[in-house]
Amino acid sequence: MRTVVIGGSFAGLTAALELKRKGKEQHEVTVIDKSPLFLFIPSLIWVPFGRREIKDISFRKDTLLRKKGVEFMNTEALNVDPENKIVKTSMGDVSYDHLVIATGPKVKYDVAPGVKEYAHYIGTPNGAMKTRAALEEFKENPGPIVIGATQNAGCMGAAYEFLFNIEKWLREQHIRKKVDLYWITPETYLGHFGIDGMPGGETMLKSFMKMFHIHYRTEVGVKEVFPDKVELTSGEVLPSKFTMLMPPFIGVDFVKNSPALRATETGYIPVTNDYRHLTYQDVWAAGIAVDVKLPFKPGKVPFSGPKTGYPSDETGKIVAENIYRLSKGKTKLKEKAWGRIPGICVMDAGKKEVIIISDTLFKPRKFAIMIPNVLYDFNKVLFEKYFLWKTKHGLSYLP
């Protein structure tokens, strides 16, 4: 039985390694990825400040996969013909018995004019390094800064992390007094995070904003970004010498170019709670590629929900388990809706952190807590070290 996994990151790498570990010789597993490197994306927020280099947070996944008996194809998947079970890639056609789509997101930079040209984005190695160079220039001639998330964005947490990190960096550079720092967000309230918040979250973030003298605007979108200012959908214009924005995520071109998958308008794969495609029983999705229904009513300005690392990893595990069960002739599959997966996250706040734990990601929840740690961000560092260690060693079954 041959399973092809497209995308070898949090979701895809986990799915591939888990399936190979469980299925051993009976399962042939192939990972297709454009990049041979695994990158621990959450630590990209530290790259602009020189706290991490890209090499510190990445490793060769092709070597790891081959060592574990998984074939690796360093190429781009172009589209899939699910009727004939063939994936077209830049290196030729690949056939499968089961297909796992774990392709993550594409960044929608054209969400508003000027976002691509004048706002920085820290979610890619290249973007993080360009941000570092821009900050080096900025510190010679400081001025106002705008940080935030645009309309339709869902990954607000990373933008909050960058905000508190830049605030700390400004103090370390002794230029904080010369900088008016603005936070802009489409969220209806601070700390909504696209999950309708956590107990005490809004109050905590409001006190952080006050303590660090950060001006903020909620329920705003971006109309246009210019080299020296950001025009908001509210009509307000904020001066800005340095802008970092988190645009929305959409599905990747592979999904868009595979019409038979009947993806949502935003390019995500419709699946049931076992992560199996609604129509094609041998097609699965994991991680950000999964279509997740919003757990809250949108406000004045649209925004989306976060698809973080923990549920990405978990859905990779569920998919591997279900393909394995089917191969053993079982019909009962493991099910867990995205929003019922526990919420586990550490938000860095610039050598401080907030630990976020809940029994389920979305409401209703039985248990939810936010624990601030103002002494140091050692849990975030620990999480990074642990995740890189377990992934480098292919120990994908660990939590």
Interface residue list for ligand FAD (CB under 6 A):
6-12, 32-35, 41-42, 44-45, 76-77, 102-105, 122-123, 155, 158, 252, 254, 287-288, 307-310, 312, 345
**191 in Cβ contact with 163 (< 8 Å):** no
Nearer to ligand FAD among residue 7 and residue 267 (C-beta): 7
SS3 assignment, position 76: coil
- CA-based Rg of the chain, rounded to a whole angstrom? 21
3-state secondary structure 317-355: HHHHHHHHHHHCCCCCCCCCCHHHCCEEEEEECCCCEEE
Q: What angle do CA 221, 242, 210 make, to 5 degrees?
A: 70
Least Cβ distance, residue 174 to ligand FAD (angstroms): 27
Nearer to ligand FAD among residue 101 and residue 233 (C-beta): 101
Least Cβ distance, residue 343 to ligand FAD (angstroms): 10
Of 333, 309, 317, 335, which is closest to residue 396 (Cα–Cα)?
A: 317
Dihedral angle at the C-alpha atoms of 125, 126, 131, 136, nearest 10 degrees? Answer: 100
Nearer to ligand FAD among residue 104 and residue 144 (C-beta): 104
Q: How many Å is the maximal CA-CA distance in the chain?
A: 67
Least Cβ distance, residue 353 to ligand FAD (angstroms): 10
Q: Which two three-digit tokens encode residue 195? A: 């999950």
Question: CA-to-CA distance for 97 and 86, rounded, in angstroms?
Answer: 9
Least Cβ distance, residue 139 to ligand FAD (angstroms): 22
Nearer to ligand FAD among residue 233 and residue 288 (C-beta): 288
SS3 assignment, position 204: helix
Least Cβ distance, residue 253 to ligand FAD (angstroms): 7
Least Cβ distance, residue 37 to ligand FAD (angstroms): 8
Least Cβ distance, residue 182 to ligand FAD (angstroms): 19
Nearer to ligand FAD among residue 148 and residue 233 (C-beta): 148
Starting at the edge strand that comes first in sequence, how are the strands of the sheet with 214-217 ordered?
A: 214-217, 181-184, 145-149, 242-246
Nearer to ligand FAD among residue 221 and residue 248 (C-beta): 248
**268 in Cβ contact with 289 (< 8 Å):** yes
Nearer to ligand FAD among residue 146 and residue 155 (C-beta): 155
